[in-house]
Amino acid sequence: MEPVVELKNLTHVYVNDREASLAVEGLNLTVHPGEFISLVGPSGCGKTTILSMIAGLLHPTNGEVLVYGRKVEGPSPDVGYMLQQDYLFPWRTILQNAAIGLEVTGRLQRESMDHLTQLLDEMGLEGTGSLYPQQLSGGMRQRVALVRTLSTDPGLLLLDEPFSALDYQTKLQLEDLIAGTLREKNKTAILVTHDLSEAVAVSDRVVLLGKNPGRIRRTFEVPGHIRETQPFYARKEEGFNELFHEIWREMESEED
Ligand SMILES: Nc1ncnc2c1ncn2[C@@H]1O[C@H](COP(=O)(O)OP(=O)(O)OP(=O)(O)O)[C@@H](O)[C@H]1O
């Protein structure tokens, strides 16, 4: 099967008036259909830069990004992006917020509202369509952001720390919901996170990046029995702690 994402010798240099800084260098990564990948690594190792290039928001200085076999030249409806902040518009109802993706891509139709209401229901947000964002909790708002992202039916989801602003309990609930939903809908996902336990619990593969500049340091396969378990319970599975500590030690041992 054709890969969903191919990063080939990907390099990015940020340039301003005074200096140039190498953020990502010579990165190669292939992500297959239905895979859930996490990118982890120390602060500043280039995780967000990599997602921005896959999303077509930032052009690589060198190398190339292919999504579904096509060179990325800009944002595409095949790719959904979810961030730490939900960016809901306070003056729009929940349903109107959920509809924005379809609106801006010119695909909003009469029957779309039924589909969005169904998606809100699936996310446990029954009856919230006519409320406003400020009437919902942080976890609920982030679920609305997920509905907005899924509404355009992108095959690939880029998740940049979508759980990190939430309290611990909400974060665990949302991890289960998002990982379960994406697997059920057979989406491909790349998650950026600082939380190694989250990375192991939700992913098929954890890609550890090293810093100065961002390069792949090591890739860890998550064993099948952990992958098949809901993230919350995965943390109690045999081998989970060992893998967590292996990644942790590797990250700590970075010398450069
Ligand atoms: N717009 C920019 N201009 C100049 N340098 C930048 C810019 N954005 C990021 N950088 C630098 O590029 C490097 C990679 O940044 P990036 O945000 O991709 O890392 P990250 O791994 O996502 O960091 P964090 O984990 O702290 O979110 C860092 O050294 C950062 O300072």
> What pLDDT sits at residue 197?
95
Nearest CA to ligand 1 atom 31: 44
Please tell me the distance from the alpha carbon of residue 98 to that of residue 149, in angstroms, as a whole number.
8
- Region at 131 (left for phi over 0; alpha for psi -120 to 50; beta for the rest): beta
Give residue 16 CA to ligand 1 midpoint distance, Å.
13
Q: Tell me, in angstroms, the distance from the centre of ligand 1 to residue 48's CA.
A: 7
DSSP label at 214?
A: B
Residues whose CB falls within 8 Å of the CB of residue 253, separated by 6 or more in sequence, listed in order: none
- State whether the beta carbon of 21 lies less than 6 angstroms from ligand 1: yes
Distance CA 53, CA 145 (A): 21
Close Cβ partners of 74 (under 8 Å, ≥ 6 residues apart):
56
Instruction: Look at residue 165 in the predicted model and tell me its pLDDT.
Output: 83
Integer-rounded Cα Rg, in Å, for the chain is 18
Residue nearest to atom 12 of ligand 1 (CA): 23
Q: Which amino acid, residue 126? A: E
| pLDDT, position 255 | 56
Residues of the chain short of pLDDT 70, as ranges, are: 255-256
This complex has an ipTM of: 0.96
